[in-house]
Structure 1
Protein backbone atom coordinates (compact mmCIF):
# COMPACT_ATOMS: atom_id res chain seq x y z
CA UNK A 1 0.00 0.00 0.00
CA UNK A 2 1.37 3.40 -0.96
CA UNK A 3 1.26 6.46 1.27
CA UNK A 4 1.37 8.74 -1.78
CA UNK A 5 -1.93 10.29 -2.72
CA UNK A 6 -2.89 12.26 -5.79
CA UNK A 7 -3.58 15.93 -5.14
CA UNK A 8 -6.23 17.71 -7.13
CA UNK A 9 -4.86 19.98 -9.85
CA UNK A 10 -5.20 23.62 -8.86
CA UNK A 11 -6.85 25.79 -11.47
CA UNK A 12 -4.75 28.81 -12.43
CA UNK A 13 -5.92 32.14 -11.04
CA UNK A 14 -4.51 34.15 -13.90
CA UNK A 15 -4.15 34.05 -17.66
CA UNK A 16 -0.86 34.36 -19.50
CA UNK A 17 -0.72 36.95 -22.27
CA UNK A 18 1.97 37.92 -24.73
CA UNK A 19 2.77 41.50 -25.68
CA UNK A 20 5.28 43.08 -28.02
CA UNK A 21 7.31 46.04 -26.77
CA UNK A 22 9.86 48.20 -28.47
CA UNK A 23 13.47 47.80 -27.35
CA UNK A 24 13.61 51.25 -25.79
CA UNK A 25 10.50 50.67 -23.67
CA UNK A 26 11.79 47.25 -22.66
CA UNK A 27 15.13 48.76 -21.71
CA UNK A 28 13.43 51.41 -19.58
CA UNK A 29 11.47 48.69 -17.77
CA UNK A 30 14.66 46.71 -17.20
CA UNK A 31 16.31 49.84 -15.80
CA UNK A 32 13.48 50.30 -13.27
CA UNK A 33 13.74 46.62 -12.31
CA UNK A 34 17.52 46.93 -11.94
CA UNK A 35 17.06 50.01 -9.71
CA UNK A 36 14.68 48.06 -7.47
CA UNK A 37 11.42 49.85 -8.29
CA UNK A 38 9.90 46.54 -9.45
CA UNK A 39 10.83 42.93 -8.74
CA UNK A 40 10.71 41.93 -12.44
CA UNK A 41 9.21 42.86 -15.81
CA UNK A 42 5.90 41.16 -15.02
CA UNK A 43 5.58 43.12 -11.78
CA UNK A 44 6.04 46.37 -13.72
CA UNK A 45 3.51 45.39 -16.39
CA UNK A 46 0.87 44.23 -13.84
CA UNK A 47 1.34 47.51 -11.91
CA UNK A 48 1.00 49.59 -15.08
CA UNK A 49 -2.14 47.71 -16.11
CA UNK A 50 -3.73 48.12 -12.67
CA UNK A 51 -2.94 51.83 -12.75
CA UNK A 52 -4.70 52.20 -16.12
CA UNK A 53 -7.68 50.15 -14.95
CA UNK A 54 -7.98 52.23 -11.77
CA UNK A 55 -8.10 55.34 -13.95
CA UNK A 56 -11.15 53.94 -15.76
CA UNK A 57 -12.91 52.31 -12.78
CA UNK A 58 -16.09 54.43 -13.04
CA UNK A 59 -16.47 53.81 -16.77
CA UNK A 60 -15.94 50.07 -16.32
CA UNK A 61 -18.52 49.93 -13.52
CA UNK A 62 -21.11 51.82 -15.59
CA UNK A 63 -20.50 49.60 -18.61
CA UNK A 64 -20.83 46.40 -16.56
CA UNK A 65 -24.10 47.68 -15.10
CA UNK A 66 -25.42 48.78 -18.51
CA UNK A 67 -24.67 45.38 -20.04
CA UNK A 68 -25.90 43.52 -16.92
CA UNK A 69 -22.64 41.64 -16.59
CA UNK A 70 -21.20 39.90 -13.53
CA UNK A 71 -17.73 40.93 -12.35
CA UNK A 72 -15.26 38.38 -10.99
CA UNK A 73 -15.43 34.60 -10.84
CA UNK A 74 -18.66 32.78 -11.76
CA UNK A 75 -18.99 28.99 -11.51
CA UNK A 76 -21.74 27.01 -13.23
CA UNK A 77 -22.32 23.49 -11.90
CA UNK A 78 -24.46 20.65 -13.08
CA UNK A 79 -26.85 21.35 -10.18
CA UNK A 80 -27.19 25.00 -11.29
CA UNK A 81 -28.03 23.99 -14.84
CA UNK A 82 -30.38 21.17 -13.75
CA UNK A 83 -32.34 23.74 -11.69
CA UNK A 84 -32.60 26.00 -14.74
CA UNK A 85 -33.81 23.12 -16.89
CA UNK A 86 -36.42 22.18 -14.27
CA UNK A 87 -37.63 25.80 -14.21
CA UNK A 88 -37.72 25.95 -18.01
CA UNK A 89 -35.22 28.81 -18.05
CA UNK A 90 -32.30 29.57 -20.36
CA UNK A 91 -29.09 31.12 -19.05
CA UNK A 92 -27.27 33.95 -20.80
CA UNK A 93 -23.78 34.09 -19.31
CA UNK A 94 -22.25 37.59 -19.20
CA UNK A 95 -19.05 37.72 -17.17
CA UNK A 96 -16.15 40.14 -16.86
CA UNK A 97 -13.44 37.97 -15.30
CA UNK A 98 -13.52 34.18 -15.21
CA UNK A 99 -16.47 31.92 -16.02
CA UNK A 100 -16.08 28.23 -15.23
CA UNK A 101 -18.36 25.43 -16.31
CA UNK A 102 -17.80 22.48 -13.98
CA UNK A 103 -16.43 19.19 -15.24
CA UNK A 104 -19.63 17.39 -14.14
CA UNK A 105 -21.72 19.31 -16.72
CA UNK A 106 -22.62 17.14 -19.69
CA UNK A 107 -22.62 18.76 -23.17
CA UNK A 108 -26.33 17.97 -23.67
CA UNK A 109 -27.27 19.75 -20.43
CA UNK A 110 -25.17 22.77 -21.42
CA UNK A 111 -26.85 23.01 -24.84
CA UNK A 112 -30.32 22.76 -23.28
CA UNK A 113 -29.74 25.45 -20.65
CA UNK A 114 -27.13 27.92 -21.93
CA UNK A 115 -28.42 30.29 -24.60
CA UNK A 116 -25.30 32.44 -24.96
CA UNK A 117 -21.91 33.05 -23.40
CA UNK A 118 -20.09 36.37 -23.39
CA UNK A 119 -16.91 36.42 -21.33
CA UNK A 120 -14.47 39.29 -21.20
CA UNK A 121 -11.56 37.53 -19.56
CA UNK A 122 -11.46 33.74 -19.67
CA UNK A 123 -13.83 30.81 -20.03
CA UNK A 124 -12.78 27.53 -18.45
CA UNK A 125 -14.73 24.53 -19.67
CA UNK A 126 -13.98 21.13 -21.13
CA UNK A 127 -13.28 20.84 -24.82
CA UNK A 128 -16.57 18.94 -25.18
CA UNK A 129 -18.57 21.78 -23.57
CA UNK A 130 -16.81 24.41 -25.69
CA UNK A 131 -17.56 22.37 -28.83
CA UNK A 132 -21.21 21.90 -27.85
CA UNK A 133 -21.61 25.65 -27.24
CA UNK A 134 -19.36 26.91 -30.05
CA UNK A 135 -22.22 28.65 -31.84
CA UNK A 136 -23.23 30.42 -28.61
CA UNK A 137 -19.86 31.71 -27.43
CA UNK A 138 -19.27 35.36 -28.30
Structure 2
Protein backbone atom coordinates (compact mmCIF):
# COMPACT_ATOMS: atom_id res chain seq x y z
CA UNK A 1 0.00 0.00 0.00
CA UNK A 2 1.36 3.39 -0.99
CA UNK A 3 0.70 6.53 1.04
CA UNK A 4 -0.61 8.18 -2.16
CA UNK A 5 -3.34 5.53 -2.36
CA UNK A 6 -4.84 6.58 0.98
CA UNK A 7 -7.45 9.32 1.27
CA UNK A 8 -5.10 11.52 3.32
CA UNK A 9 -4.45 14.94 1.75
CA UNK A 10 -1.29 16.93 2.49
CA UNK A 11 -3.33 20.15 2.26
CA UNK A 12 -6.95 21.08 1.84
CA UNK A 13 -9.53 18.33 1.72
CA UNK A 14 -10.80 15.48 -0.38
CA UNK A 15 -14.14 13.76 -0.37
CA UNK A 16 -14.70 10.10 0.48
CA UNK A 17 -17.92 8.16 0.90
CA UNK A 18 -18.45 5.91 3.93
CA UNK A 19 -20.80 2.94 3.72
CA UNK A 20 -21.98 0.83 6.63
CA UNK A 21 -22.01 -2.71 5.21
CA UNK A 22 -23.25 -6.08 6.43
CA UNK A 23 -20.45 -8.10 4.80
CA UNK A 24 -17.15 -6.31 4.13
CA UNK A 25 -15.66 -8.96 1.77
CA UNK A 26 -18.86 -9.03 -0.32
CA UNK A 27 -18.99 -5.23 -0.59
CA UNK A 28 -15.25 -4.97 -1.24
CA UNK A 29 -15.65 -7.44 -4.13
CA UNK A 30 -18.53 -5.42 -5.60
CA UNK A 31 -16.66 -2.10 -5.59
CA UNK A 32 -13.40 -3.64 -6.83
CA UNK A 33 -14.41 -6.56 -9.07
CA UNK A 34 -17.66 -5.19 -10.53
CA UNK A 35 -17.00 -1.43 -10.61
CA UNK A 36 -13.23 -1.70 -11.14
CA UNK A 37 -11.94 -0.05 -7.97
CA UNK A 38 -8.58 -0.78 -6.35
CA UNK A 39 -8.50 -2.21 -2.83
CA UNK A 40 -6.24 0.05 -0.80
CA UNK A 41 -6.98 -1.54 2.59
CA UNK A 42 -8.91 -4.80 2.95
CA UNK A 43 -10.33 -4.33 6.47
CA UNK A 44 -10.71 -2.04 9.47
CA UNK A 45 -11.77 -0.03 7.55
CA UNK A 46 -11.96 -1.38 4.03
CA UNK A 47 -10.88 1.32 1.57
CA UNK A 48 -11.43 1.02 -2.17
CA UNK A 49 -10.14 3.69 -4.50
CA UNK A 50 -12.71 4.15 -7.25
CA UNK A 51 -11.72 6.51 -10.08
CA UNK A 52 -10.86 9.82 -8.37
CA UNK A 53 -12.51 8.99 -5.04
CA UNK A 54 -12.61 6.45 -2.25
CA UNK A 55 -15.30 4.22 -0.77
CA UNK A 56 -14.70 3.42 2.90
CA UNK A 57 -16.62 0.44 4.34
CA UNK A 58 -17.04 -0.99 7.81
CA UNK A 59 -19.71 -2.99 9.63
CA UNK A 60 -22.34 -1.12 11.58
CA UNK A 61 -22.36 -0.62 15.28
CA UNK A 62 -23.54 1.37 18.20
CA UNK A 63 -22.54 4.79 19.44
CA UNK A 64 -18.90 5.75 19.90
CA UNK A 65 -17.43 8.64 21.91
CA UNK A 66 -17.30 10.88 18.81
CA UNK A 67 -20.90 10.07 17.77
CA UNK A 68 -22.53 9.35 21.15
CA UNK A 69 -26.15 9.11 19.98
CA UNK A 70 -25.67 7.51 16.56
CA UNK A 71 -25.83 3.85 15.51
CA UNK A 72 -24.82 2.75 12.02
CA UNK A 73 -26.51 0.09 9.88
CA UNK A 74 -26.97 -0.71 6.19
CA UNK A 75 -30.23 0.32 4.48
CA UNK A 76 -33.31 -1.53 5.69
CA UNK A 77 -35.97 -0.37 3.21
CA UNK A 78 -35.09 -0.58 -0.50
CA UNK A 79 -38.01 1.70 -1.43
CA UNK A 80 -36.56 4.73 0.38
CA UNK A 81 -33.22 6.53 0.25
CA UNK A 82 -31.89 9.66 1.90
CA UNK A 83 -28.71 9.81 -0.16
CA UNK A 84 -26.98 7.89 -2.91
CA UNK A 85 -23.65 7.54 -4.61
CA UNK A 86 -23.51 9.33 -7.97
CA UNK A 87 -21.06 7.96 -10.53
CA UNK A 88 -20.49 10.03 -13.67
CA UNK A 89 -19.21 8.11 -16.68
CA UNK A 90 -18.11 8.92 -20.23
CA UNK A 91 -20.07 6.05 -21.83
CA UNK A 92 -23.09 4.91 -19.85
CA UNK A 93 -24.10 2.18 -22.29
CA UNK A 94 -20.66 0.56 -22.11
CA UNK A 95 -20.67 0.76 -18.29
CA UNK A 96 -24.20 -0.62 -18.08
CA UNK A 97 -23.24 -3.57 -20.27
CA UNK A 98 -19.90 -4.29 -18.57
CA UNK A 99 -21.16 -3.93 -15.01
CA UNK A 100 -24.28 -6.00 -15.80
CA UNK A 101 -22.05 -8.77 -17.16
CA UNK A 102 -20.08 -8.63 -13.90
CA UNK A 103 -23.22 -9.00 -11.79
CA UNK A 104 -24.48 -5.48 -11.15
CA UNK A 105 -28.26 -5.33 -10.93
CA UNK A 106 -29.73 -2.18 -12.47
CA UNK A 107 -33.25 -0.97 -11.74
CA UNK A 108 -33.67 0.04 -15.42
CA UNK A 109 -31.45 0.43 -18.47
CA UNK A 110 -30.12 3.97 -19.10
CA UNK A 111 -32.92 6.47 -19.68
CA UNK A 112 -32.61 9.78 -21.54
CA UNK A 113 -33.50 12.58 -19.11
CA UNK A 114 -32.63 15.41 -21.57
CA UNK A 115 -29.72 16.77 -19.51
CA UNK A 116 -28.23 13.34 -19.04
CA UNK A 117 -28.58 9.65 -19.61
CA UNK A 118 -28.96 7.86 -16.30
CA UNK A 119 -29.87 4.66 -14.54
CA UNK A 120 -29.64 3.27 -11.04
CA UNK A 121 -28.30 0.09 -9.51
CA UNK A 122 -27.88 -1.24 -5.98
CA UNK A 123 -24.80 -2.51 -4.22
CA UNK A 124 -24.94 -5.75 -2.18
CA UNK A 125 -26.27 -3.92 0.90
CA UNK A 126 -28.99 -2.17 -1.08
CA UNK A 127 -27.33 1.25 -1.37
CA UNK A 128 -28.66 3.13 -4.37
CA UNK A 129 -26.06 4.14 -6.96
CA UNK A 130 -26.87 6.54 -9.79
CA UNK A 131 -24.85 6.10 -12.98
CA UNK A 132 -25.07 9.08 -15.29
CA UNK A 133 -23.58 10.50 -18.46
CA UNK A 134 -23.89 14.23 -19.10
CA UNK A 135 -25.34 14.70 -22.58
CA UNK A 136 -27.61 17.71 -22.91
CA UNK A 137 -26.14 19.28 -19.78
CA UNK A 138 -22.88 19.93 -21.61
CA UNK A 139 -24.89 21.83 -24.25
CA UNK A 140 -26.99 23.95 -21.88
CA UNK A 141 -29.95 21.57 -21.73
CA UNK A 142 -30.97 21.12 -18.10
CA UNK A 143 -33.25 18.68 -16.32
CA UNK A 144 -36.87 19.50 -15.67
CA UNK A 145 -37.46 20.75 -12.12
CA UNK A 146 -38.75 18.17 -9.65
CA UNK A 147 -42.51 17.71 -9.57
CA UNK A 148 -44.01 19.65 -6.67
CA UNK A 149 -45.49 17.45 -4.04
TM-score, length-scaled by structure 2: 0.24
Larger radius of gyration: 1
